[in-house]
Structure 1
Amino acid sequence: MDASADTRLTQHIIITSLEQNIWDDVKILLNSRLSKLRIEQLAEPSFFLMHQLVTNLINALHYNVFRQVVRTDFGLGANNDETELKALFNSELADHGDRNIAKFCELNDLYISLAFDDTEETIVVINAPEFCRDAVQRSHKLIQTLGYAVENNKPASNARYYSIKLVKHLANQHPDILPELVTRKNELSSLKDIFSQLAYGIVCFTGIGGIQAVSPSILGLLGLQVNKASHEIFARSISIHFYNDVIWGMVLESSSGKFENYRVRVKTQKNPEESVLFNVSGFRDGNATIHTLWQKISLDGGNTNNLSEGDLINEAKVHNITRNYVPQLVEKKAREVVRLGSNLLKNEECYFAVLFCDIVGFTRFVEQSEEEESIIHVLNSVLRRISLSVKKFGGFIDKFMGDCIMVLFRNPYDAVMAALEMQRHSQDINSLRERADLEKLQLRIGIHWGKVIIGNVGTPERLDWTTIGDVVNTASRIEKNCQPGSVLISEIMREAIEHSDDISFRCGDTFYISLKGKKEKLAVCYAYSN
């Protein structure tokens, strides 16, 4: 059962796949329990803990299921190399995601369950197969840090399962410590400890770029021995861009001789295909010596190939330019994924209202207009009003397709409210166009509700994390059947909204439309503002 299959929140969540859209429900239920236990200040780290626990448990579930299947169906013996088995498992996930394994789990009554019951000091009760027991232990440090404890619960109803509960233990005994200013002495002491514990190093350059001194730790990171010959190898390994941008650029152009956060990649000697990406900051002293602090950037297990070199300020400027070209849901999801300790956008199945909006007659307008700037201005003027409505009602713009826009809403009621407001904005625009004796540009809007797949489509060189599935195709075809200036919704949408309180619109009579590629006609109705 997908916890998001019902728009109403439940306190019991069954999980068979990390692609289920459960996290909004988990956060709401978790925050409710923490509030009742008066430890709501632990909401963010507790949610991180829940994500970690569920991820580790599902990974353990899937791996054990996969191992069982390949041994049973493919005759791999119990003595097979575990490394080979893990390689096969990772290949399965890379090619198909976890849907095949999750389907097997559903058919064989294998799952992870979360129950946010309102009992004493309990935060959540977790049920899982016995072979997943060790997965919880991976989070024991975070559990202890938050002042929680794991206790055995009463035996699970299924003999193959064990049951534990996460309880408040010392979570309310964290003392409130007032921050204080660090003294210069303590500051230097802390810096000494930080420098010795972390992968920091010092490199001193002459004004023309020669290396005067280098920390042994940096040579070690690059697989070099600590000797004079290694100094020369290290100097040759540094990109010429670093010398151009920093040694002969920033430190001379800046009145203070300081620079910060410049990234430079240096190849290792052990493997020519590997390199270490460093973050470098420093300053130029009165004797023209350039003192630089080098920090190794460690990301995704050392895989830093996707991070570019150069000044982080320039990178931030590039990001500010490109972020407007990234779908809103992708950026939101990416921030969430990084916050929860991952680095990949995984495929998901979840329920969305999918809205298509098309500008009727825009193609004819383009053909008749001679000014390209005028065409872009008119298009952006309409799309800007549409976008305001999307934002107001919590939607996400999936993509623009010329004069058509595709939008996603988690709440079907919000989708209809946004669509009706779009039509009101359209009427305002057309009133102005009529006064100027210009042709009307009406909107045609179609909305459908159901389970969609959000996933990676494309190649590594060009990926879209977009929404696909029958619900998307149906929403597009509903829009094509809509009368200009109207909002046409499916009967499924209407039924999904019926339980909402204080509905601020009305629906017309139900009728049926034929859709290309479908045998059955689809029940639809128009939505109107009250």
Structure 2
Amino acid sequence: MAEPNSTHSIVITSIEQNVWDDIREHTALSLNRLHIEQLIEPTFFLLHQLVTNLVNTMHQNVFKQIVQVDFGFGGINSETDLNALFNCELAEHGDKNIANFCEVNNFHILLSFHDIEDAFVSISAPSFCSDAFLLSNKMIQTLGYQFQEQTIFEGSNNFSGKLVKNEALQQAVVSPTLMTLQNELNSSQAIFSKLSYSVVCFSSIGTIQAISPSILAQLNLEENNASIEIFARSISIHFYNDVIWGMALQEPDGKFENYRVRIKMHKNTEKSVLFNVSGFSDSNSTIHTLWQKITLDGGNIDNLSEGGILNEARVHNITRNYVPQLVEKKAREVVRLGSNLLSNEECNIAVLFCDIVDFTSFVEQNENEESVIHILNSVLRRVSFSVKKYGGYIDKFMGDCIMVLFRSPHDAVIAALDMQKHSYDINLLRQRAEQPKLQLRIGIHWGKVIIGNVGTPERLDWTTIGDVVNTASRIEKCCQPDGVLISERMREAIELAEKMDFKYGDTFYINVKGKKEKLAVCYAYSID
């Protein structure tokens, strides 16, 4: 918790910095103080948008300076050429090189959260970023805030201002009411016209009986019978099979919802429009369908597939268990904040490796007597329970080994000790059944990692890389069966931030492949 009348500052030079949890926490503290806690989520969205725009603007201007001045490419003045070089740099190296230049040359975005007056955050940025503030003006006003530009000292190259609570713009909370039938019809008509909904009526054999001119206009078609014929031929045969002729086999007044149909643009087959279609069949077997445009696609036309959304949900339910937990969580967060890409992220994290001792030999000796997959899954299931219980994320399974990430070093150790407790329980049962032990060894290291995209566009992993990962793996290899071996850096991180509810063994040193100096480690034990 922040101290009264204090300021908490966050310095940002890269979108890949792990600053969002910190920003969310202090946004919540400030808005609670201002008694507008109901605005926490939209305000965090606003700050995310604002910081992203400021950093992107700063990086583009800094990159322009590097290219034109430092590299001597003064002849490149075209914004198109500069943007192409900038995007190439981001694709090849991320924003790390540009962010390092910003740090060295004191270019940064500064957020300062206050505990006084009506201001909840001050924002400072290089003066060439001032236009980026304008991109968020509408949302600032919508949420009832005001951006007050602050006086800059003479000679300063920064632009600064603060977001304050504007009482005049704060919207009163209004209790919801039930709409009358007439109001509902009026709203429906307004929605229909504003959102460019279209109606297409089919006979039970699939011929078009009536069509809204608006759908023809969206496909660059003229309003005539020839265009209606072109539209009918453009509809996928799957739509006729699944919907039109499928409806003929159902009871009268049948209905369908959320079926996606892709129609290629007339005279521009590289583009297509994806529609969401719902409808019903009346007593005369006429099928009334409502078409809503979802997206106009260019080169990426296969990202959203055709067919029923229910089928897509079924596919998602099958594949989601194969997607790392952190990826799914991060993807949901990215979408909620209005983006569509997982960016690289640099942060401090605890990396845990756990594997089953001599499992390869066990497989060779027992493949004809026991279900090896069943036994492996039984052990990993217990390990996963501990991971979930203490807030970890499974990065990947590698045979009998599992790699797990924890934001808190303390929770990583508690989870590891819980894993060993489950292992002890499993081996008690195996011992009674006169089966060999399956012991775990666990190694944990703490430090700065990069979580980012590794691979090609056809097959990407959003995974953790860096020396911390390699070191954690090698610590695990040096661990004794049934042990939890942690680095001295882990121990120091825990002692700085957390209360102690487990104990340590004596520190000793191990040789780690790829490192000149020996690594200080110790074992962790449960107090009981």
Match of 1:311 in 2: 308
Match of 1:397 in 2: 394
Task: Give me the whole-angstrom Cα distance separating, in 2, the residues matched to 1:387 and 1:210.
Answer: 55
Match of 2:92 in 1: 95
Amino acid at match of 1:24: D
More divergent stretch after superposition (137-146 vs 79-88) = 79-88
Q: 1:520 to 1:318 in 2, by over 3 A?
A: same
Match of 2:25 in 1: 28
Give the secondary-structure state (helix, strand or coil) at the position aligned to 1:274: strand
Q: Does the 8 A contact of 2:420 with 2:483 survive in 1?
A: yes
* Structure 1 residue 523, shift from structure 2 partner: 0.6
Match of 2:376 in 1: 379
Q: 1:63 to 1:308 in 2, by over 3 A?
A: same
* Structure 1 residue 75, shift from structure 2 partner: 4.2
User: Which structure 1 residue ranges, 5 or more long, are not aligned?
Assistant: 1-8
Q: Does the 8 A contact of 2:7 with 2:115 survive in 1?
A: no
Task: Give me the whole-angstrom Cα distance separating, in 2, the residues matched to 1:376 and 1:61.
Answer: 52
- For residues 238-272 of structure 1, what are the alpha-carbon distances to aligned partners after superposition, in whole Å with 9 as ceiling and x for unaligned? 11111111111146336631000001111111421
Task: Give me the whole-angstrom Cα distance separating, in 2, the residues matched to 1:437 and 1:372.
Answer: 13
Task: Give me the whole-angstrom Cα distance separating, in 2, the residues matched to 1:202 and 1:301.
Answer: 25
Q: Does the 8 A contact of 1:127 with 1:156 survive in 2?
A: no
Q: 1:88 to 1:500 in 2, by over 3 A?
A: closer
Amino acid at match of 1:231: I
Among 273, 277, 286, the alignment partner of 2:274 is: 277
* Structure 1 residue 236, shift from structure 2 partner: 0.8
How does 1:85-484 map onto structure 2 within 5 Å? 85-155=82-152, 159-170=156-167, 173-250=170-247, 252-253=249-250, 256-298=253-295, 304-371=301-368, 374-484=371-481
Match of 2:509 in 1: 512
Match of 1:13 in 2: 10
User: Which structure 2 residue ranges, 5 or more long, are not aligned?
Assistant: 1-5
Task: Give me the whole-angstrom Cα distance separating, in 1, the residues matched to 2:96 and 2:189.
Answer: 50
Task: Give me the whole-angstrom Cα distance separating, in 1, the residues matched to 2:370 and 2:286.
Answer: 53
Task: Give me the whole-angstrom Cα distance separating, in 2, the residues matched to 1:526 and 1:350.
Answer: 25
Give the secondary-structure state (helix, strand or coil) at the position aligned to 1:127: strand
Q: Does the 8 A contact of 2:141 with 2:169 survive in 1?
A: no
* Structure 1 residue 459, shift from structure 2 partner: 1.1
Q: 1:420 to 1:117 in 2, by over 3 A?
A: same
Match of 2:3 in 1: none
Q: Does the 8 A contact of 1:156 with 1:162 survive in 2?
A: no
- What count of residue pairs does the alignment treat as equivalent? 522
More divergent stretch after superposition (155-164 vs 99-108) = 155-164
How does 1:55-70 map onto structure 2 within 5 Å? 55-70=52-67
Task: Give me the whole-angstrom Cα distance separating, in 2, the residues matched to 1:303 and 1:203.
Answer: 27
> Cα RMSD over matched residues?
1.9
Q: Does the 8 A contact of 1:456 with 1:464 survive in 2?
A: yes
Task: Give me the whole-angstrom Cα distance separating, in 2, the residues matched to 1:399 and 1:171.
Answer: 52
Task: Give me the whole-angstrom Cα distance separating, in 2, the residues matched to 1:424 and 1:375.
Answer: 22
Amino acid at match of 1:267: K
Q: Does the 8 A contact of 2:248 with 2:285 survive in 1?
A: no
* Structure 1 residue 74, shift from structure 2 partner: 4.6
- For residues 395-418 of structure 1, what are the alpha-carbon distances to aligned partners after superposition, in whole Å with 9 as ceiling and x for unaligned? 000001110000000000000000
Name the TM-score, length of structure 1 as normaliser: 0.95
Give the secondary-structure state (helix, strand or coil) at the position aligned to 1:253: coil
Match of 2:490 in 1: 493
Task: Give me the whole-angstrom Cα distance separating, in 1, the residues matched to 2:16 and 2:369.
Answer: 44
Match of 2:68 in 1: 71
Name the TM-score, length of structure 2 as normaliser: 0.95
Q: Does the 8 A contact of 2:264 with 2:271 survive in 1?
A: yes
Q: Does the 8 A contact of 2:271 with 2:301 survive in 1?
A: no
Q: Does the 8 A contact of 1:39 with 1:172 survive in 2?
A: no
Task: Give me the whole-angstrom Cα distance separating, in 2, the residues matched to 1:127 and 1:42.
Answer: 23
* Structure 1 residue 23, shift from structure 2 partner: 0.4
Give the secondary-structure state (helix, strand or coil) at the position aligned to 1:63: helix
Q: Does the 8 A contact of 1:251 with 1:258 survive in 2?
A: no
Task: Give me the whole-angstrom Cα distance separating, in 1, the residues matched to 2:153 and 2:115.
Answer: 18
Q: Does the 8 A contact of 2:270 with 2:299 survive in 1?
A: no
* Structure 1 residue 155, shift from structure 2 partner: 2.3
Q: Does the 8 A contact of 2:443 with 2:486 survive in 1?
A: yes
Write out the 4+ residue segments of structure 1 that deviate beyond 4 Å after TM superposition: 74-79, 299-304
- For residues 266-297 of structure 1, what are the alpha-carbon distances to aligned partners after superposition, in whole Å with 9 as ceiling and x for unaligned? 11114211111110000111111111011111
Q: 1:79 to 1:32 in 2, by over 3 A?
A: same
Match of 1:3 in 2: none
Matched residues, percent identical? Answer: 69
* Structure 1 residue 154, shift from structure 2 partner: 4.0
Q: Does the 8 A contact of 2:441 with 2:483 survive in 1?
A: yes
Amino acid at match of 1:352: I
Q: Does the 8 A contact of 1:300 with 1:343 survive in 2?
A: no
* Structure 1 residue 460, shift from structure 2 partner: 1.1
- For residues 28-75 of structure 1, what are the alpha-carbon distances to aligned partners after superposition, in whole Å with 9 as ceiling and x for unaligned? 011000001111010000000010110010011011111112211454
* Structure 1 residue 170, shift from structure 2 partner: 2.6
- For residues 480-521 of structure 1, what are the alpha-carbon distances to aligned partners after superposition, in whole Å with 9 as ceiling and x for unaligned? 000000000000000000123431111111111001111111
Answer yes or no: is 1:524 the counterpart of 2:521.
yes
